[in-house]
Structure 1
Amino acid sequence: LGIALLGRHTYDPRALDWLGSTPALAGCLGLWTAENDHLELAGEYRVTAGAPYAEMSVTAFPPPELFGVADGADGDVVFVVPVRSPARDWGMLAAVGRIQSTTPPGREMMNHSGSLLTKALDYQVTMAALREQEERLRTAAMRDHLTGLPNRLLLEDRLARAGMRATRDPSFRFAVLLLDLDRFKAVNDTLGHAAGDLLLIEMAHRLTSRLRRSDTVARLGGDEFVVLIDGLTDPDSYKTVCAALQAAVCEPMEIDGHTVEVGVSIGVAVSQPGASDPDRMLREADAAMYRAKSATRGH
């Protein structure tokens, strides 16, 4: 019974299949609803007590179908035991079993079953919480905290994947775009950092909405973004993407009653057959972006 309930974690203990390891003839599990005023039928074993997840009052538990399985004349009775730990009251377990004259007596077996079921349910909740926390930590490590975009770490992983694919398939081409917002500092200086944050969040949304799901928009920090175009239909198709992104960024937006307009300088690096090192491409895109920004300032 201990192995059935605590040694395997690939199934839900609420299913009550583990009761097959006990002398029980049938059983059902009632778990408290969120309001703790009703029990929800969460599992059945060799009996159909009602619709799955049906609710019933405490006085209606255990359901009459269990008593139909019991044969008092033959020594079979319905046991009801709490499923409760110091941390949580889960509900009640009801099962049909025989009062045994030998050790272990039937009642002790049922109490033991309820105790092990409690441990299994507690373990399930604990593991779910740990997995959720792990996912939050992974997201925090891979995502920019302000915009929710991939950060440098996740970008490097996706660039590496694109580079490996280009190495395997010479016909696969990708592009790296480095974007730097123009006049962003003026927004921060005149309207404050909160307004600057709102602008960055809006820009992240605009950039993402103009790209395919297979592409990546990442924030490196400050007002710098990187776009990975994961697969070019032809070597010059990135130009259409650049135009769309530039139009999206330059569209005016309202922040705290003020109309804000910014521009963008874009540097591009396109992979070449047999020469698609992502780090080198990122440096090339960065250099091209600074050349574009310098040309803009010259006008």
Structure 2
Amino acid sequence: MSKVGARGMIAVLLHVQEHLRCVAASGSWQVYSWVPLSDGVVGRVYAGGQPQTITDVDADPDYIRIGPDVIAEICVPILDRTGQPIGVINAEWTSTDGLEGWQDLLADVGRRLGERLDELGGPPAETRGEQLLRHSMALTDAETDAEVLFRVCRAAREVTGLAAAVLMRPLPPLGGVGMAASFPESRDRPLIGRLADAEPHRLNSLVERAGQHGASYSIGDPALLNAHGFEALTEAGVKTMIAIPLADGVLLALDESANVPNPETVNLLELLATQASTCLEKLAHLRNLHRQATSDPLTGLRHSGPFGHRLRRATPGRTALLAIDIDEFKSINDTLGHAVGDQVLIEVANALQKALRQGDELFRIGGDEFVAVVDVPTVAVAAGVAERLIEAARSTGRTISVGVAQQHHDESPEQALHRADRALYAAKASGRDAVRISHR
């Protein structure tokens, strides 16, 4: 597309899998392969279904620049026979001269193109490569292990065309198998349910088989061919299977009808499984870095940084602070050495952690100084928690002193902590191995 004294670019973008995908273009060295449905002038026109002419692209906040010399843009929707947008035609020029009439002409082309695409069955299907790329990007964006597992199962269903997908991982030391799955709500829940009901050792054997021998797939109906070793699947009603090993599990794509998966599909599923394993490793690495940044390397307890965040979430009238010191700890270090002192810290920290209730939190904020943060209805309940900590320390052969303060409505968490410290000093002054409460 060109005019005297100007150069132009034109592109056709169609709605494919939540993107506007460029399926044809001319006049520019660079084009975007796809654009999110909500992005750019193309997204705006697609959503609104109305043509737009822009004579100053720099003044349009939604404009996505392709060429440095583009000045004007005309974008029109591609409409199907019901008048619904299925894509856009986007035209850009290096001059505003002679734009008259182009919007109407392109809008007419958009209607005609939409009608013809409708006759042919709609926009072209996503290619296998585009499908794989889309799912790989979704896996990379996952923020939790559970998200990765769910997304790879959903991808396995879509890539293979099979009815269900499940990812199984052993759960030591319990001997069970953890499962994530994807399936149509109305159809294959019973299949996955029957599989989940199989004996754990039979499911574990599937995981082990995949880990030892690599990817495999079925080549016919198990009623006619030997499916020995896969009874957990066949008894659940599975007749078609693709099994792909992961670092600590197996990804299974399954169906109740007998099909023969082609090798290309198996290869694509292997690539997805590799991507999922990489994403899980990345998340584990990030968690490890976070633990190193927020935890005391000796005891594994969180340190003063997270403790400050927890104080800011304290609830007056409910949050109690337990200031804790190991009795005679300086003497242990001075007489027995720091290695023994470190071991005492580890043993006492572990004992205290185990003695706390679910939801209670323990922090190491100094050498032998700990603080437990507990939410309780009364300070008497907090004192009961402190007594359990005293008993836990004694089980290690050591003793601790504990000061308890519950935050009042008219004081800050820091003021409550100061009162807990004063109560701790009172416990030490009384002979150690004791609990003291600060009421005010």
- Give the TM-score normalised by the residue count of structure 1: 0.60
Native 8 Å contact 1:17 1:45 kept in 2? no
Question: 1: distance between equivalents of 2:385 and 2:270?
Answer: 56
Native 8 Å contact 1:5 1:13 kept in 2? no
Question: 2: distance between equivalents of 1:201 and 1:3?
Answer: 52
Match of 1:5 among 107, 117, 132: 132
Cross-structure match for 2:413: 278
Match of 1:247 among 379, 388, 391: 391
Cα offset for 1:279? 2.3
Question: 1: distance between equivalents of 2:349 and 2:382?
Answer: 19
**SS at structure 2 position matched to 1:162:** coil
Q: Deviations over 1:101-130 (max 9, x none)?
A: xxxxxxxxx65x566445433322211110
What amino acid does structure 2 have at the position aligned with 1:244? R
Question: 2: distance between equivalents of 1:230 and 1:251?
Answer: 25
Cross-structure match for 2:327: 182
Change (3 A) 1:6 1:228: same
Higher relative CO (Cα under 8 Å, sequence separation at least 6) belongs to 1
Cross-structure match for 1:226: 371
Cross-structure match for 1:293: 428
**SS at structure 2 position matched to 1:267:** strand
**Over aligned residues, Cα RMSD in angstroms?**
3.9
**2:345 pairs with 1:209:** no
Native 8 Å contact 1:175 1:230 kept in 2? yes
Cα offset for 1:161? 2.5
Question: 2: distance between equivalents of 1:131 and 1:188?
Answer: 39
**2:403 pairs with 1:267:** yes
Change (3 A) 1:137 1:47: farther
Counting matched residue pairs gives: 223
Cross-structure match for 2:380: 236
**2:296 pairs with 1:144:** yes
Question: 1: distance between equivalents of 2:228 and 2:298?
Answer: 43
Gaps of 5+ in 2: 1-127, 140-150, 163-207, 232-238, 245-249, 251-258, 433-440
What amino acid does structure 2 have at the position aligned with 1:288? A
Cross-structure match for 1:161: 313
Cα offset for 1:227? 1.1
Cα offset for 1:51? 6.5
Question: 2: distance between equivalents of 1:52 and 1:40?
Answer: 16
**SS at structure 2 position matched to 1:123:** helix
Native 8 Å contact 1:175 1:229 kept in 2? yes
**Equivalences for residues 46-85 of structure 1 within 5 A:** 54=230
Native 8 Å contact 1:210 1:244 kept in 2? yes
- Give the TM-score normalised by the residue count of structure 2: 0.43
Native 8 Å contact 2:401 2:427 kept in 1? yes
Change (3 A) 1:238 1:54: same
Cα offset for 1:162? 2.9
Cross-structure match for 1:79: none
Question: 2: distance between equivalents of 1:114 and 1:212?
Answer: 48
Question: 2: distance between equivalents of 1:3 and 1:226?
Answer: 53
Cα offset for 1:199? 1.1
Question: 2: distance between equivalents of 1:16 and 1:252?
Answer: 53
Cross-structure match for 2:159: 18
**SS at structure 2 position matched to 1:178:** strand
Question: 1: distance between equivalents of 2:261 and 2:374?
Answer: 63
Q: Deviations over 1:6-63 (max 9, x none)?
A: 2023233884541449xxxxxxxxx98444xx3454x6699768879849xxxxxxxx
Change (3 A) 1:280 1:117: same
Native 8 Å contact 1:16 1:44 kept in 2? no
Q: Identical aligned pairs, as a percentage?
A: 32
Cα offset for 1:196? 1.3
**SS at structure 2 position matched to 1:221:** coil
What amino acid does structure 2 have at the position aligned with 1:134? L
Question: 2: distance between equivalents of 1:20 and 1:175?
Answer: 56
